[in-house]
Structure 1
Amino acid sequence: MDELLSQLFNFTDYGQLLALVKNSIIAGAMLGLVGGLIGTFVMMRDLAFAVHGISELSFAGAAAALLFGVNVVAGSLLGSLLAAILLGLLGTKARDRNSITAVLMPFGLGLGILCLSLYEGRAANKFGLLTGQIVSVDDPQLTLLIGISIVVLIGLFLIWRPLTFASVDEDVARARGLPVDRIGIVFMVLLGLATAVSIQIVGALLVLALLVTPAAAAMRVTTSPLYTPLLSVAFAVISVVGGILLALGGGLPISPYVTTISFFIYCVCRLIGWARAKKGQPGRRIERVRVSA
């Protein structure tokens, strides 16, 4: 047991190792901000399953890029955008979206596994696409990641109010004349970009811990349109940055640490919500979302 604990949490020469993951910490904080904000709309629009489908196509694109020796982030972006656009165009209804996602997931995963099987480079590169790598973010990748994250944040800012309206009550938003379908496609593109950059840190298999779980936890304790995204961002940043700092000690993939922290936060939020409901004082204060058309 002691040997296992020392492997999981080994902080010998921790200060020297910390300098090696400066880029990953910056990237993790940025992804926590992006993931926390966009995850709020993922939950509101019931797109958690779609995130997994997009991540599988993103993984396939990254694996193909690795095989052919081109930029992995570019391959990941291409796969994510392809899946996001397909879901945005064809999956306007939840039933259609789920069926399309179920078709894309095995195709993307199978294609990615094929590319990794043919790849003859380092095994760490293969494993990192699935579970994340703690020191995989170099300066060019960090610059690209920050640039894409800024694009996602600006896009969310520009469509925040109509997207909120369309997410809360699509029929009323459509009756008010909002271009609900176009807003949905734009959001799916932003989600695809966020998924692609998240894979570089937490890996394709566990991207839900960044884009879904923090927002789901926040919604267990509040439905305020202000506090929900703020709490979601806080939970996401704590999960990613905390996971990186813990993983550094053990020299293991960061994804188990990130997912464990994220799951612990979710469990605590569920307990808080359950305790408040038991006392007859629901902790989630419902506020009317007022959005002008």
Structure 2
Amino acid sequence: MVLADAGTAPVWSWDLLADFQAMWSYPFMVNAFRAGAVVALVSALVGWFVVLRRQTFAAHTVSTVAFPGAAGSVLLGVSAVYGYFALCVAAALVIAALRGSGDHEESALTGTVQAFLLAFGFLFVALYKGLLEGPQTILFGTFLGITSTQVTVLAGVGIGVLAVLALIGRPLLFASIDPQVAAGRGVPVRVLSVLFLVLLGAATAEASQITGTLLVFALMVIPAATAQTITARPGLSLALAVLLAFAATWLGLTAAYYSPYPLGFFVTSFAFAGYVIARGVHALHTLRGRTATPLPAKEVAA
């Protein structure tokens, strides 16, 4: 069977058992599904708080600077993993330091840093003399080349992120819903904000290795936004976000294996389809609720 990235995509036979057995006969595909599971879990949980706290611009900035970090690592001849984590966490710390200024000034400073580092990323790509697949992989993601060592690193980082998130989850939820009241009751809102941004940096670095740096929102924001559209109950919403992230990741991996197109495109498309369906159902229920609302007594009498 010839792989998609080698020029010809494997053929989908509609014998599901045989197709999945053939796909999972390759160690790199097993590693890809393992890595995808870790990334989906971490991204969904961290992304749920990103959406709740309305920090999607911060998430976008961190995902953008993952590109120069990974490109610089490729240029230096080391694993892109180190660049992903180093610059994503560094960018999160910079954003945390800038959060003391006003909203307008903070956005302007964050956007300036983002543009500056993005320019360096394109410089690194221009200086890169290897195969063009390297920068393309950084930007759009791939399932090829995911090793057992990389899965272990992702799992270790994921466990650390989830452990910290579990410790700060309840006060972080309180501070996210009503930061002023939380601060008045002694919740360390500022410390929680910095810790969460560091977790965001680590989670973004993980997700970038599956979706690519340009499509991190596919796992970081879309499943969480979809889940919060469906239900406002935190526990159920978190579980639903994880389920949606798993579905988008594993369906994306399967589709990418059986086609010549980028993994990030499929992950994003499946996640976005879920969001569109959720918004459509929500709008339909809202419309039905308005239609079913009884008229006031005065209007009925008239």
TM-score exceeds 0.5: yes
Task: State the one-letter code of the partner of 2:114.
Answer: M
Q: Secondary structure at the match of 1:220?
A: helix
| Cα separation, partners in 2 of 1:165 and 1:144, compared to 1, 3 Å | same
Task: Pick from 46, 62, 65 the counterpart of residue 57 of structure 1.
Answer: 65
* Pair 1:18 & 2:24 matched: yes
Q: Report the alpha carbon displacement of residue 18 of structure 1 after superposing the two structures with TM.
A: 3.2
Give the equivalent residue in structure 2 for 1:162: 171
Give the drift of 1:51.
1.0
Quick check: 1:136 aligned with 2:137?
Answer: no
After superposition, the C-alpha distances for 1:76-122 in whole angstroms (9 at most, x for unaligned) are 11110111001112124543442233213222221111111111112
Alignment of 1:90-109 (within 5 A): 90-92=98-100, 94-109=103-118
Which residue does 2:3 correspond to in 1? none
Relative to structure 1, is the Cα distance of residues 108 and 11 closer, same or farther in structure 2, using a 3 angstrom cutoff?
farther
Letter in structure 1 aligned against 2:48: T
Contact 1:59 1:130 in 2 (8 A): yes
Residue of structure 1 equivalent to 2:93: 85
Question: Is 2:193 the counterpart of 1:184?
Answer: yes
User: Is the partner of 1:226 in helix, strand or coil?
Assistant: helix
| 8 Å Cα contact 1:9/1:246 also seen in 2 | no
Q: TM-score, normalised by structure 2?
A: 0.87
CA distance 1:266–1:111, change in 2 (3 Å): same
Within 2, Cα distance between the matches of 1:207 and 1:10? 28
Residue number in structure 1 paired with 2:127: 118
Give the percent of matched residue pairs that are identical in Structure 1 and Structure 2.
35
- The answer on 1:71 being equivalent to 2:79 is yes
Q: For 2:116 and 2:25, how far apart are their aligned partners in 1?
A: 39
1:8 deviates by 8.0
Amino acid at match of 1:11: W
Residue 90 of structure 1 aligns with an amino acid whose one-letter code is: L
Q: Which amino acid aligns with 1:87?
A: I
Q: Secondary structure at the match of 1:40?
A: helix
Q: Which moved more, 1:169-178 or 1:95-104?
A: 95-104
Counterpart Cα distance in 2 of 1:129 and 1:261: 20
Q: How many residues align?
A: 275
In structure 2, distance between residues paired with 1:118 and 1:221? 46
Q: 1 CA distance for matches of 2:60 and 2:231? A: 25
Can you give the 5+ residue segments of structure 1 that lack an aligned partner in the other structure? 1-6, 282-293
The verdict on how the C-alpha distance between 1:218 and 1:25 changes in structure 2, with shifts beyond 3 A counting, is same
Q: In structure 1, how many angstroms separate the alpha carbons of the residues matched to 2:272 and 2:160?
A: 28
Give per-residue Cα distances to partners, 1:196-239, cap 9 Å, x unaligned.
11111100000001100111111111110111111111111111
CA contact (8 A) 2:39 2:207 kept: yes
Distance 1:268 1:137, change over 3 A: same
Give the Cα–Cα distance (whole angstroms) in 1 for the partners of residues 50 and 155 of structure 2. Answer: 21
Measured in 1, the distance between the counterparts of 2:216 and 2:9 equals 21
- Quick check: which has more Rg, 1 or 2? 2
Task: State the distance in 2 between where 1:148 and 1:203 align.
Answer: 18
Give TM-score, length-normalised by structure 1: 0.89
Alpha-carbon distance change, 275 to 8 in structure 1, aligned in 2, over 3 angstroms: farther
Distance 1:54 1:176 in 2: 31
Quickly say closer, same or farther: Cα 1:176–1:118, change in 2 above 3 A: same
Name the structure 2 match of 1:40. Answer: 48
1:16 Cα shift?
2.9
Distance between the aligned counterparts of 2:142 and 2:85, measured in 1?
18
Q: Is the 8 A contact 1:214 1:266 kept in 2?
A: yes
Do residues 204 (structure 1) and 208 (structure 2) align? Answer: no
- Root-mean-square deviation (CA, aligned residues, Å) is 1.7
Is contact 2:33–2:253 with CA below 8 Å preserved after alignment? yes
One-letter code aligned to 2:22: Q
